[in-house]
Structure formats: structure tokens, C-alpha cells
Amino acid sequence: MLYDGHENAFTKWMRDRDVDIIFAETYLKNDLLRLNGLMTAAHLTLLPGVFLRMELPFLGLRLKTDDKVLYADCDVMFRRDVTMHLHCLACTYFAVTGEFDPDDYHNMNTGVMLMNLSRLREVDAEFRAYVRAHLDELPREAWDQGAYRRFFGWERGALLWDRLRPTMNWKPYWGDAANASIVHFHGPKPYEYERPNPELLHLAHGDYQKLAGEWMQVLEDAG
């Protein structure tokens, strides 16, 4: 688990369940201060964690991990082993699924990413500079997701990302999740199932209620 913070009750809970904690900070930590006044205090508190996936190319060197890693946001649920599928998957820089439409790979979603760390290191300095230069524009484009979209595709005239199967980043509002390997609660979170955020109510359909119940059961089983 990538975590920006210090040891606390939460990290202890995770360690007690055999989760490795990787403490990290975004290189943008000081830059984010300039967004004060544009963002709510709650958003500013969350932002340092939002950009942590960008640290993975060099964290991989420190942790001596494989060149390819699977990154996932914290609002996901793994339902089966995915490693066999990932071993044979093309991944030049990273592989992703669509966001709102499972067939729309132009408007991709970074909630689950197979990342080729060695290739991403080759463009890391340029990518970091790009994100820093466009930081003020990113609140309108889902933060670093917008940066990945623009830098690796939209501004080049060609998409440099590869494709994950939709079942690897399945949104509950897509419907029947029987074959979903990784469920991404994109929109209302599972703990909101009794009272979803009104602004996200349009995404609380399909298999949302069923999958929220499944998530709650997993949490209960974890103690």
C-alpha cells in the first residue's frame, strides 16, 4: 500500500492483515500549496495521495520489484487472481481500460493500471515537468488522470497506452459483474450504499448494490 503519512491505527490495522506499507510523498507536495483558494480544504488534504502513482517508476528501483506492476486505486475490490492474465499482456508504458464506457479506450481510466516501470522511467523527467507546468489545469481533468491522457496520447495524435480487459477495471454501473476480476467503485463508494452522494446517484445502478454488499462482507471477514 502506497501511503503518505506516519504510522497510526490505520497502518497498524493493515499490517495486522499482512499488508506491506510503502511510505511515499509526491514530488508535487509544495506545488499543491498554490492551489489553495481554488480547492476545498478536503480536496487539498487528499491531493498528495492522488499523485502517488507517479512515484512508482523510481519506487520500483528502491523496492527491487519487477519491471511491471499493477497499480490500483484504494476504492477497488479484487475478486480473483489476475496474475496469469497480466503476464501475457502488452504494456509499452501502461495498460488501462475505458472510464465510463468499457469500449472507449480514448477516454481511459487510471484507477487500475498495469505499469511498465522501466519504460516509464525513460520519460519520467519530461512527464513530471509537464504535470508541474499544467497543474492549475488538472482539477478540471481528474488530476493526474488528465495528465496521463494528455501526455501519453491526446496531445500526440496517437494513444501510447495499451488495453486492459474491462473485467480488470469493472465499474458497478456497467451491469452484470459475474466475470469481473477487479471491481472499481468509480462514483459512489460501497460504504455509501444506503445513502449515495446525490451528485453521484446516476452511477449507483447496475450491479452497484450487489457489489457494495459483497465489499461489506469482505470487510467484515477481514475483521
Strand partners, 115: 69, 94
CATH fold of 2-221: Spore Coat Polysaccharide Biosynthesis Protein SpsA; Chain A (3.90.550)
One-letter amino acid for residue 108 of the chain: M
Extents of the domains making up the chain: 2-221
For the stretch 18-33, pLDDT in tens is 999 999 999 998 898 8
- Predicted local distance difference test score (pLDDT) of residue 64: 84
Cell numbers for 74, please give them: 484504494
pLDDT reading at 40 higher than 70: no
pLDDT reading at 38 higher than 70: no
- What are the Cα distances from residue 151, in Å, to 8, 101, 127? 36, 21, 7
**For range 179-197, the mean pLDDT:** 94
**For range 196-210, the mean pLDDT:** 93
Instruction: Answer yes or no: pTM beyond 0.75.
Output: yes
For the stretch 51-106, pLDDT in tens is 999 999 999 988 888 789 999 999 999 999 999 889 889 899 999 999 999 999 99
Angle at Cα 25 formed by Cα 22 and Cα 26, nearest 5°?
130
Percent of the chain with pLDDT over 90: 76
- Predicted local distance difference test score (pLDDT) of residue 103: 95
